[in-house]
Structure 1
Amino acid sequence: MAKRQWTISLILMVVSIFFVALNMRPAVTGIGPLFNVLMTSLHVSSTSISLLTSIPVFCMGLFASLAVPLQRKIGTKSAIALLLVILILANGLRFLQESYLLLVMTSFAAGLAIAIMGPILNAYIKNKFPQRFTTVVGIYSFGIGIGATLSAALSVTFYQSFGNSWTVALGIWALLAVMALVIWLWAIPAQSNEQLQRITTIEHARNPWTSGRAWAILLYFGLQTSLFFSMMAWLTPLLQDKGMSLETASVMLTFMSIVQMLGNIAVPLLMEKWQSRTVWLLALGFVGLIGFTLLWLMSGAYLWLAVLLIGIVLSGLFPIGLLLPLDEAKNDLEANSWSSMVLSGGFMLSAIIPMMIGVCYDRTGNHTWTYIIFLGLMVCIIATTGLLRKNR
C-alpha cells in the first residue's frame, strides 16, 4: 500500500512538473506569430520588437544564479509557486493596454521567473528521479515544447477571434499559469521545502565556473537557445517575406513547433538506448545545415521540408542542453549550481542573436544576413562537439 502511494506521489510530481513546464515559453514565443502585427500597431521598428524576445531571454540568464539561494531559503515548492505567481502577473498585465513599455516590463518579469524556475526544476528532477532523470527531463522538455507549440498555434487565432486584439492574444496565457499553480500546490508535498534545506547543509558541490567542461556546455546551450528563440521570433516574418499570408506562416510555425514538441519527448527516450551526446549533436548539426539552406534558397513545398528538418533539430538540441549539466552533477545541489551556470550564461548569450537579426534587417531591408546567422549558428553548434569531447 505504501509503495502504491509512493508511486502515485511520483506520478503527480511528474504531472505537476509538466504543467509548470507548459508556462516556460508562451510569454516569450507568443510574440513571434504577431511580430508584424505588433510592429504596425505600436509603430516601432523590427529591432524594437526583437527586444521583446531578447529581454526575457537575457533575464533568463541574468537571474538564473538566484535559483540556488531562493531554493535554499524557501524550498522547491514555495519557490516554484512564487515564480508562477510572477508569471501570472507578467502575462495578465498584458491585458491592460496596447503599450510597448508595458510589453517590455512584462517581458522582463517573465524572464525573471523563467530564469529561476529552470535550474530549480532541474535540481528537483535530479533529486527525485535519480535513476530516470533522462526520461523525466524528456517529459519536462516535452511540456516546454507544448507550451511553445500552443503559443505558436493559438496566438494568431486568439488575435483574430477577439476582434484583432493582440492584448488578449498575449494576456490570455495567464490562465495557463493559474492552472499550473493550482496543480503544483496540490500535487507537490510540503516536505519538499524541508528536505532541500537539510540536504543543502551537508552536500558539497563543485564550482562550475572553474570547470572547462561547464564552460563548453554553457557555450553549446547558448548557441542552441539562440537558434530556438530566433526561429520562434523570426520564422513568421521570414515566411511572410517569401509571400505567405500571416495565417499560412502561422500554420508553418505551428507545424515546426509540433515537430519540436514530439521530438522533445522522443529524443530523450532514444538517448536512453543510444547515449552518445556527441553523435547526436553531429547528426542534428548536419541536418540543421540542410534545413536552413532549404529555407533560404527554396520555396513552395520545399519550405515545409525545411521547417520539418529544423523542427527535428530544435527538438533534439534542447533536451541535450538540459541533460549535459545533469550528466556531470553528483548530487542535486550540484545539479542546481551547474544548471544555473549553464542556463545563466547560455541565455545571456542567446539574447544577442534575435536582436542582431532585427538590426541587420532594419539596415539592409532583406533577410540575407538572417539566413547567414542561422547557418553560422549551426556551424558553431557542430564545432562545440569538439570542445565537449576535449573537456570530458
Structure 2
Amino acid sequence: MVKKQWTVSLILVVVSIFLIALNMRPAVTAIGPLFNVLASALHVSNTSISLLTSIPVFCMGLFAPLAVPLQRKLGTKSSITLLGVILVVANGLRFFKESYQLLVITSFMAGLAIAIIGPILNAYIKKKFPQRFTAVIGIYSFGIGVGATLSAALTVAFYHAFANSWTIALGLWVILAIVAVVFWLLAIPTEQPEFGQNLETSEQSRNPWTSRRAWVILLYFGLQTSLFFSIMSWLTPLLQDKGSTLESASTMLTCMSIVQMIGNMAVPVFMEKWPNRMAWIRALGLVGVIGFTLLWLTSGTLLWLAVLLIGIVLSGLFPIGLLLPLDEAQNDQEANSWSSMVLSGGFMLSAIIPIMIGVGYDITGNHMWTYVIFLVLMVGIIATTELLKK
C-alpha cells in the first residue's frame, strides 16, 4: 500500500509539473497569431508589436537569477504558487481594456513569472527524479509545447468566436493558469519537505559564471530560444506576406506547433537510447537550414514541408537546451545555479532577435532580412557543437 501511494504521489507531481508547463508560453505566443490584428487595432508599428514578445523574453532572462533566493525563502511549492498567481493576473488583466500599454505591463508580468518558474522546476525535477530526469524533462518540455500549440491553434478561433475581440482571445488563457495553480496546490502536500530549504550541504558547487562550458551552453540556449520566439511571432505575418489568409496562416502555425509538441516529448525519450547531444544538434541544425531555406524561397504546398521541418527542429532544440546544464550539474545546487544562469543569459540574448526582425521590416518593407536572420541562427546553433567539444 505504501508503495502504491508513493507511485500515485509521484504521478500527481508529474501532472502538476505538466500543468504548470502548459502556462509557460501562451501569454507570449498568443500574440503572434494576432500580430497584424493587434498592429492594426492599436495603430502601432511592427516593432512595437515585436516588443510584446521581446519584453517577456528579456524578463525571462533578467529575473531568472531570482529563482535561487526565492526558492530558499519560500520553498518550491509556495514559490510556484506565487508565480502561478502572477500568471493568472497577467492573463486576466488582458480582458479589460484594448490598450497597448496594458499589453506591455502584462507581458512584463508574464515574463517575470516564467523566468523564475523555469530554474525552480528544472532543479526540482533533477532532485525529485534523479534517475529519470531526462524523461521528466521531456514531459515538462512537452507541456510547454502543448501550451504553445494551444495558443497557436485557439487564439484566432477565440478571436472569431467572440466577435473579433482580441482582448477576450488573449484573456481566456487565464483559465489554463487557474487550473494549474489549483492542481499544484492540491497535488503537492504542504507537509512535504520543500526542495530549496535544505541547500546548505557539504558538497562543493562550481560557479557557472566562471565556466567556459556554461557560457557556451548559454549561447546555445539563447540562439535556439531566439529561433522559437521569433518564428512563433513572425510565421503568421510571413505567411500572410506570401498570400495566405489569417486562417490559413494560423492553421500552418498550429500544425508546426503540433509537430513541435510531439517532438518535445519524443526527442528526450529517443535521447535516453541515443544520448549524444552534439549529434542531435548537428542533425537538427541541418534540417533547420533546409526548412528555413524552403520557407524563404518557395510558396504553395512546399511551405507546408518547410513548416513541418521547422517544427521538427524546434521540437528537439528546446529539450536539449534544458538538459545541457543538468548534464553538467554535479549536485542539486549546481542544477539550480547552472539552469538559472543558462536561462537568464539565454532569454536575455533571445529578446533581441524579434525586435531586430520588426525594425528590419519597418525599414525595408520586406522580409529578406528576416529569413537571413533565421538562417544565421541555425548556423550559430550548429557552431555551438564545436565549442562544446571537450
User: Structure 2 length normalisation: TM-score?
Assistant: 0.99
Q: Which residue of 1 aligns with 2:41?
A: 41
Structure 1 counterpart of 2:231, which letter? Answer: M
Contact map agreement 1:267 1:316 (CA 8 A) in 2: yes
For residues 316 and 378 of structure 2, the distance between their equivalents in structure 1, rounded to whole angstroms, comes to 13
For 1:337-383, what per-residue CA distance to the aligned partner results, in whole angstroms no more than 9, with x for missing partners?
A: 00000000000000000000000000000000000000000010010
Distance 1:204 1:78, change over 3 A: farther
Contact map agreement 1:58 1:349 (CA 8 A) in 2: yes
Contact map agreement 1:76 1:192 (CA 8 A) in 2: no
Structure 2 counterpart of 1:315, which letter? Answer: S
* 1:222-233 alignment runs, 5 A limit: 222-233=222-233
* 1:212-223 alignment runs, 5 A limit: 212-223=212-223
Give the secondary structure class of the aligned counterpart of 1:198.
Answer: coil
For residues 362 and 36 of structure 2, the distance between their equivalents in structure 1, rounded to whole angstroms, comes to 13
Contact map agreement 1:75 1:192 (CA 8 A) in 2: no
Distance 1:166 1:202, change over 3 A: farther
Q: Which residue of 2 aligns with 1:258?
A: 258
Contact map agreement 2:77 2:194 (CA 8 A) in 1: no
Contact map agreement 1:53 1:229 (CA 8 A) in 2: yes
C-alpha displacement of 1:2: 1.1
Q: Which residue of 2 aligns with 1:268?
A: 268
* 1:271-286 alignment runs, 5 A limit: 271-286=271-286
C-alpha displacement of 1:192: 4.6
Structure 2 counterpart of 1:304, which letter? Answer: W
* 1:1-392 alignment runs, 5 A limit: 1-192=1-192, 194-389=194-389, 392=390
For 1:228-262, what per-residue CA distance to the aligned partner results, in whole angstroms no more than 9, with x for missing partners?
A: 00000000000000000000000000000000000
For residues 234 and 200 of structure 1, the distance between their equivalents in structure 2, rounded to whole angstroms, comes to 45
For residues 204 and 47 of structure 1, the distance between their equivalents in structure 2, rounded to whole angstroms, comes to 46
Give the secondary structure class of the aligned counterpart of 2:97.
Answer: coil
C-alpha displacement of 1:4: 1.2
Structure 1 counterpart of 2:310, which letter? Answer: I
Give the secondary structure class of the aligned counterpart of 1:196.
Answer: coil
Give the secondary structure class of the aligned counterpart of 1:49.
Answer: helix
Contact map agreement 2:58 2:349 (CA 8 A) in 1: yes
Give the secondary structure class of the aligned counterpart of 1:131.
Answer: coil
Contact map agreement 1:71 1:120 (CA 8 A) in 2: yes
Percent of paired sites with the same residue: 77
Contact map agreement 1:60 1:112 (CA 8 A) in 2: yes
Contact map agreement 2:124 2:195 (CA 8 A) in 1: no
Structure 1 counterpart of 2:345, which letter? Answer: G
Once structures 1 and 2 are overlaid, which stretch shifts more, 259-268 or 2-11? 2-11
Structure 2 counterpart of 1:158, which letter? Answer: F
Give the secondary structure class of the aligned counterpart of 1:95.
Answer: coil
Structure 2, unpaired ranges of 5+ = none
Structure 1, unpaired ranges of 5+ = none
C-alpha displacement of 1:189: 2.2
Give the secondary structure class of the aligned counterpart of 2:384.
Answer: helix
For residues 285 and 196 of structure 1, the distance between their equivalents in structure 2, rounded to whole angstroms, comes to 36
C-alpha displacement of 1:283: 0.2
Distance 1:44 1:337, change over 3 A: same
Once structures 1 and 2 are overlaid, which stretch shifts more, 331-340 or 353-362? 331-340
Structure 2 counterpart of 1:138, which letter? Answer: G
Contact map agreement 1:139 1:265 (CA 8 A) in 2: yes
Give the secondary structure class of the aligned counterpart of 1:330.
Answer: coil
Contact map agreement 1:72 1:200 (CA 8 A) in 2: no
For residues 5 and 196 of structure 2, the distance between their equivalents in structure 1, rounded to whole angstroms, comes to 21
Structure 2 counterpart of 1:160, which letter? Answer: H
C-alpha displacement of 1:203: 4.5
Give the secondary structure class of the aligned counterpart of 1:190.
Answer: coil
Contact map agreement 1:78 1:193 (CA 8 A) in 2: no
For residues 198 and 245 of structure 2, the distance between their equivalents in structure 1, rounded to whole angstroms, comes to 56
For residues 154 and 356 of structure 1, the distance between their equivalents in structure 2, rounded to whole angstroms, comes to 27
Contact map agreement 2:292 2:374 (CA 8 A) in 1: yes
Structure 1 counterpart of 2:49, which letter? Answer: I
User: Structure 1 length normalisation: TM-score?
Assistant: 0.98
Distance 1:217 1:42, change over 3 A: same
For residues 196 and 58 of structure 1, the distance between their equivalents in structure 2, rounded to whole angstroms, comes to 25
For 1:165-198, what per-residue CA distance to the aligned partner results, in whole angstroms no more than 9, with x for missing partners?
A: 0000111101100000011001112245545312
For residues 211 and 80 of structure 1, the distance between their equivalents in structure 2, rounded to whole angstroms, comes to 29
Contact map agreement 1:204 1:334 (CA 8 A) in 2: no
Distance 1:203 1:227, change over 3 A: same
Contact map agreement 1:27 1:170 (CA 8 A) in 2: yes
For residues 49 and 230 of structure 1, the distance between their equivalents in structure 2, rounded to whole angstroms, comes to 12
Contact map agreement 2:72 2:197 (CA 8 A) in 1: yes
